[in-house]
Each structure stands twice: as C-alpha cells, then as structure tokens.
Chain A
Amino acid sequence: MIDDSRPIFLQIAQLIENDIVDGVLAEEAQVPSTNEFAAFHRINPATAAKGVNRLVDDGILYKRRGIGMFVATGARAVLITRRREDFYEQFVRPLAREALKLGIDGEQLAAMLAREPGAASLRDVQQKEGAI
C-alpha cells in the first residue's frame, strides 16, 4: 500500500482521505491512533503522526484531548470538492492523450464511457449531488 513515490506521511494522509471519501470513516467517527496506523502499515509512528497532523491542520480531522482523532463534520464535502479539481489533471488529460495516440475520436470515447457498467450510475450522479 505504501510505495516509494512520495513521502509516507502524504500517503497516510491520502489513505485516510480515501476512507473518508468512500464513507468507510463517517464524519464524527474516531480515526485509528497513529500507533495503530504505524503498526498496520509497518511505518514509523512519527511519520504516521505527521500524516494525521496534516489532516488536522487542514481541518479534516480534529483532536479531542486524551481521547483521539475524529473526522470533522463537513470533511467529506471538502475532500470531494478538492478531488474534483484534481480529476481533470489526473484522469481526463491522460485519457484524452492516449485516445489521441490511438486515433480514438470524441464520439468513440463517449461510446466507450457509456459501455462502462459503472457509467449507468453516472447518470444518477446529479441526484446524488444533493446528498453531499
């Protein structure tokens, strides 16, 4: 799960963010302790703490003295907004470039997206939007 491409504390922060976005960690739910993160991912506890603290600084998590870390209310919405901004850079651009290389035009690309089983639910996104 942990790789060499980026500092581990960033990867830990991202793993927690993923869990929040996926709903595995609900808002106001308690986040595992840094030592639990360290033991699970076999990483240095200080590094894990750095990742968690980054999310605290961002307002995604908050500390309750003597109890632990919790997901802030509204954290999911903040993360999703942020990720949408990255979506274009991370996914759409490489997709378009590869399509161009292979001579797939815009229509074909749209057809492919429609063929993707997950795409059916894409149409429902509009309704889901209200839930966020």
Chain B
Amino acid sequence: MSTPIVQMSNVFKRYRALTALEDINLTLNQDKIYGLLGRNGAGKTTLMSILTAQGFASSGHVNVFGENPYENEKVLRRICFIRESQKYPDDFHAKHAFKAAALFYKNWDNDFALQLVKDFELPLNRRIKKLSRGQLSAVGVIIGLASRAELTFFDEPYLGLDAVARQLFYDRLLDDYAEFPRTIVLSSHLIDEVANLLEHVIIIDKGKIILDDDADNIRGSALTVSGTGARVESFIGNRTVLHREGIGALVSITLEGQLSAGERREAQELGLDVSPVSLQQFVIRKTLDAGAGLEFDAESQAKQTKKATRMGAIR
C-alpha cells in the first residue's frame, strides 16, 4: 500500500570541521504527511535541500521518484520546496511570485491561491521585500499549497504568522490534502501545533535521525510517573528513564514504554500520578540527554547556537 518515493542512504554532509548530516537513511512513502522535527540547526533544512537537489551531499545516495534528482527535470517538476529563508527577485510583488509558480507547476490552482491570499490578507501589489515576516511566510505557504506538487516541503512555514493564521494554514493544508493527497514534509520545531496533522514523525538531532516512526506509535510511547521519591523509584524498577526531575520529596520521572493495566493499577495503589507525555515533550526528552542537569542544557544550547551561526555563515 505504501509506495516509497524518496530514499536516502548513508547520506553525509560535511562542512570543513562540521558534520551537518551524519549517515542519514530515510524512506518517505507516497501520500503521507511527515513531520521533520528537531531543534534549530539540527540539519532539517540541509536534509531537505539535498533531497530537492538545491544542496549537495558530501557522500551517500539520494533517490527521488526512482531517480537522482540533480538536474533532473523529470523529478524536479514534481517537487516544491520554498525554504524558510526563501529569496525572491528584488522587484517581485507577491502576485509575480504566484505567476511564476503557475508557469512551472502543472497542477497549480490559481483560484485556490487567490482564496489563500484573501485568507491570509496578503497584499498582492506590494514588493515582497517590503512584506512583514508573517506575510513573507504566507507567500511561501501559498506557493507550497497551490502548487499541489506531488512532493511538497514546508520549511518552518509559520514564522511570523499569528495564531489565527497558523491555524488557517493547518486547516487549509488538511482540507486540501484530503482532496488532493500528496506527500508533504512539514519541518517544524513547534511540535505540539503540528503533532496531530502528522502521520509519520522523523526526529533529527545534531545531524542524525534519532527517531523515525508513525506518530501514533510514538503517542503513548512515554509517560511521566510522579510521586514521592522512593515509591516512584521502586515502581519504575529498571525501565528506560528519559528524564528525571524533582522538588523536595516529589520526583517526576519520564519513562519510555507503556504501562499494562496491571501496572497502572499498581501505580494507582501506590498513590503515584501517571500522566501522558506530548510529542513535543517526547522530542525534548529525546534530544536532551536523559537525566541531564541545567548546566548541561545551557552548554548544549550554546553549542547549538554556535553551530547554527556557522552553518548560516557557510550557507
């Protein structure tokens, strides 16, 4: 039932001293909505650039629609990837950008594009250069949606959009996807907002894929048990701990795995509180080393920032 349309094997991307992507192996199937989740600078945009032949891998194989996408119009014409920092010609107004997109996408739906323009209250006759961050994001979102490309990437599409506009985007995406199924990759670090839209989740951290699974398999794959220290500790036994925090005698531990009905009863009898872990919490727990203290967080944050800046500079 699932037809693979994208395959990456052993893909590396190195910049002098920095490894931006490390041994990426990935398959994307037709007509699914994927979430490409991870922190800023984790390698999301680099990965999408390589898939769309906008960027180049240092080594490894990339196969899209059965072929190498590089300089391959047969493959490229079925792909749309407007990046978060997309540049437009200096003299272009939003309407020019849509006209251009209409030239290249055979499924371009101009009525849909105009409807979205109205929805997002986007000024068509203003230079793109003069648009606000949110309006700029809206231009990208509209091209991505109205192009109806078989493989569409949305790169942090919500930047600068307010809550109403973001909800609008998610709703339009779902509606249109239901009517015209296609493969969609949504890159995001606002995970809770998009979690329910996703069928499959890929989590990337420091250039490596650390999780690649159906969203529904992940949901409920971790939980938090809290209560008095000794009781919690004895209850969890030797399960995999993702995170541990405490205040006074109270301890709250995030576990990987599920509880059986019997274990739930046991937890209740011990007076322990069992609560679900959201996808966002799960990603945070997975991308920060388990049980790490605050100092470590600050340190890794600093590293991450440095990395992001360097990547920006190299790009």
Contact = CB atoms under 8 A, between A and B. Distances in A.
A75 B33 CA distance: 32
A56 interface: no
Interface residues of B, number: 28
Nearest to A98: B268
Interface in A16-66: 35, 38-39, 41-47, 50
A46 B198 CA distance: 9
Nearest to B218: A7
B171 A5 contact: no
A4 B215 contact: no
Contacts of A46: 32-33, 199
A84 interface: no
Contacts of B297: none
Interface residues of A, number: 23
A94 B268 contact: yes
Instruction: Report whether over half of chain A's contact residues are helix, strand or loop; otherwise say mixed.
Output: helix
A8 interface: yes
A97 interface: yes
A4 B278 CA distance: 5
Interface of B: 32-33, 170-171, 174-175, 177-179, 195-199, 215-217, 219-220, 261, 265, 268-269, 275-279
20 contacts: A4-B277, A4-B278, A4-B279, A5-B275, A6-B276, A7-B216, A8-B219, A35-B178, A39-B174, A39-B175, A42-B171, A42-B196, A43-B197, A44-B33, A44-B174, A44-B196, A45-B174, A46-B199, A89-B265, A97-B269
